[in-house]
Structure 1
Amino acid sequence: MIRQANFQTISWFWDLHKRQLLDLDPPYQRRSVWNQEYKDYFIDTVLNGFPAPAIFPYQEITPEGLSRYSVVDGKQRLSTLFEFANNEFIVSEKATVAQFRGKYFKDLDPEVKTKFWSYQFSVEYLPSSDEKIINNIFDRINRNVAKLSPQELRHARFDGVFISEAESLTEWMAGVLPPNFPSIAQRSRKQMKDVELVAQLLLLIEEGPKSYSQDDLDKAFSDRDQSWDLKEETIDAFKNTIRFLAELLQVNTGDPNLARSRIKNQTDFYSLFGAIHELLQSQQMPELGDVAQRLQTFLQVVEESAKREQYNLAKAYHEAARSASNDAGPRRARIDIIKDVIAGKFSLKSTA
């Protein structure tokens, strides 16, 4: 591959951005992941004239003769610069140069602004218009960056049916279930761990509970990238399960309610999802209120070590959730136990 490189100023990128000729969100880009600390540090780098990594754009010439650029690598840097130039945040109080601290861009002296606009990046233009090659380049660039999660790399590599639906369903699920349910840290969400969880749930519907290494997930995404044979029925089953879960979490079972129980943990959420899906498919789901009360009683026993030891189902569930919880065996065991609980096979009057 022949590489072309030169230097371009911030003002050059800004002009493209203002004329809507710069795409910061092509399919291979990841979610915005820089927090304010990273942004502050980068602005300090630019204001001091220190070097920064190269920007990798792909150029496309339109039939109208316009050059459009898609940013393959460099989104976080450019987004931060544009936000700063739009006066969306101030220079950090920890900035190297004291006279810049606490100032918006509009408050900087004219010569400082000119220096900012004149700051140059090394720019490497990607010559191929083949999206697979661009995705591969992005993947290779970012595999050298420790902060990229495996799911972010899949987001970079794939843009077909399965990943598009997984990302869309992640947003849909967030709007149906209570806030941050299941519980996923904000940083993990930025690393697309929520999308990875949804992908695992879709695969659970298709293949039953299995253990997936990151390589296994890569293959699952790849196998379903161009076409996904079970797409319609899998999505329908996913949505039906999530809708039932949403109704279940609204049932008043006392304090704490189900939404605040351990079921919000990803391991337990996966188990409950699998159990509900299988019971809905077999049309063996009891009344909603009974399901909620049975789960609440069982989960309270699981959480209390003294009580847990008295009940075989609670003890077995706790063990399956502790060690190798993402292996196929423990996943299957937890789902089966939750199904038994929902079916009414657990009672405080027995040692089941």
Structure 2
Amino acid sequence: MADHGLKFEIESKTVAEFRSLDKSGELILQPEYQRQAVWPVRAKVSLMETILLGYPIPEIYLAYETSPEGEQTASVVDGQQRLTSLLEFLNNKFPLDGLEDEKLSSKFEGMLFKELPDDVRQEFFQYRFPIRRLSNLADEFVRAVFARVNRVNMVLTEQELRNALLPGPFNDFLKDCAAHQISTVSGVFSGERRKRGGDLEFYAEVFGTCIFGLSNKKTELNERYDKISADFENYQDRSAEFLELLTLLSNTIKWVGRTRWSNIVDMFTLLHTSWGLRAELKSADHFQRMQVRELLDLFQRAVSERKRNGENGETDSLLESLATIVDMSAEEVEKIIEEYTSGVRNSSDLGSRRIRSQQLTLLLSRKIKN
């Protein structure tokens, strides 16, 4: 049996060798545990400048795996951003804009790789990266190395570390949530948040809240994540219900421009509140769902108006319309809106979360439980 202890071989590879590995399909830039490429162009250009100057670059970790048929692949454990940037430059995906070295800037500023002189490109291809080679290690060891290296370097978010260390059905479920149409139509996640796993973390926190109740995000998220991930089979039915709820809300809410539901805080409250009323929402007839649709639209508009201190002059009409739908007085509805809006401050605080969920539940339940 092979020894699966953590042993590293130190070697080096040229830019040309990395290009060949990529072209042959032997280089796996983004293993399942890796994050997406997130470097801005400025950082990519800085790396190319470093290579052109011949300065050293931190070592890259590669996990080699050889099949019984003799086929070999190299997965990038650490160095994905560097190698992705390198290959993009070789494929003329970005120019050398913003070079800091005056001599290089005077010669190559604004050039694509193909526009560099032949001798410069030839020398560029010969630049050597230091490599730490991991050979035929079990997947859990490779993931542990990935997490450890990145934790020490402080380059991964908490969710990116979870993705690396806790693969499996819970992680797959979170990806299904992130890929759901509600994530797109709501506009709740920025491109940067998605790249760093913020969408997965959001759904992990909401689902955990639906299962275990409201909490302070910072104190209990990791514990709940570990618990669900380790025993996801026990949560399989509820995960299916959660996805059904996402579909129901996606088809019910008015998605016109940015709404309150485009904010993480409000979307969190909407999902948690709706989960508690999911049986009623699911069994509601068409007329009730249309009224829920109108209620949620008027509610989010009233909250936005309240946060703007009524500068659009729509407060009274919104409160009156909302009061009519839920069969309450405008004064009662105004108090609910004020309470909810107060809970938007200190958004991750347990007390604020409780206030928001209580007030939205109060309105929604008036409509679907009557």
Q: Is the 8 A contact 2:183 2:189 kept in 1?
A: no
Within a 5 Å distance, the mapping from 1:104-183 to structure 2 comes to: 104-127=112-135, 129-171=137-179, 173=180, 175-179=181-185, 181-183=186-188
Residue-by-residue CA offset, 1:302-351 (whole Å, 9 max, x unaligned):
3324669963212211222213x224443233222112212347xxxxxx
Does residue 330 (structure 1) correspond to residue 325 (structure 2)? The answer is no
Structure 2 counterparts to residues 98-109 of structure 1, below 5 A:
98-109=106-117
1:316 partnered with 2:321? no
Stretch of structure 1 that moved more, 329-338 or 219-228: 219-228
Alignment partners' CA distance in 1, 2:233 and 2:212 = 13
* Identity within the alignment, %: 26
Equivalenced residue count is 334
TM-aligned CA distance change 1:300 to 1:19, over 3 Å = closer
Q: CA deviation at 1:93?
A: 4.3
CA-to-partner distance for each residue in 1:103-134, whole Å, 9 max, x for gaps? 22122112111111111111011246122221
Contact 1:161 1:227 in 2 (8 A): no
- 1:224-260 deviations in Å (ceiling 9; x for gaps): 3354123432232222221122222337xxxxx5x52
Q: Displacement of 1:184 after TM fit?
A: 2.8
Gaps of 5+ in 2: 1-5, 320-329
2: CA distance between counterparts of 1:9 and 1:296? 58
- Identify, as 1 or 2, the structure richer in helix: 2
Q: TM-score, normalised by structure 1?
A: 0.86
Q: Which amino acid aligns with 2:245?
A: T
Shift of 1:147: 4.0
Secondary structure of the 1:229 match is helix
- Distance (whole Å) between structure 1 residues aligned to residue 228 and residue 201 of structure 2: 15
| Cα root mean square deviation, aligned | 2.5
Structure 1 residue 241 corresponds to structure 2 residue 249: no
Matched residue, 1:34 = 39
TM-score normalized with structure 2 length: 0.82
| Equivalent runs, 1:250-269 vs 2, <5 Å | 250=254, 257=256, 260-269=258-267
For 1:220 and 1:133, locate their aligned partners in 2 and report how far apart those are by CA, in whole Å: 24
State how far apart, in whole Å, the 2-side matches of 1:126 and 1:224 are: 31
CA deviations on 1:246-283 (whole Å, 9 max, x unpaired) are: 222337xxxxx5x5232321111111112222222245
- Per the alignment, in what secondary structure is the counterpart of residue 172 of structure 2? helix
The whole-number CA distance in structure 1 between the counterparts of 2:95 and 2:299 is 51
- Higher mean displacement: 157-166 or 204-213: 204-213
Q: What residue number does 1:301 align with? A: 302
2:3 counterpart residue number? none
Please say if 1:13 is aligned against 2:23.
no
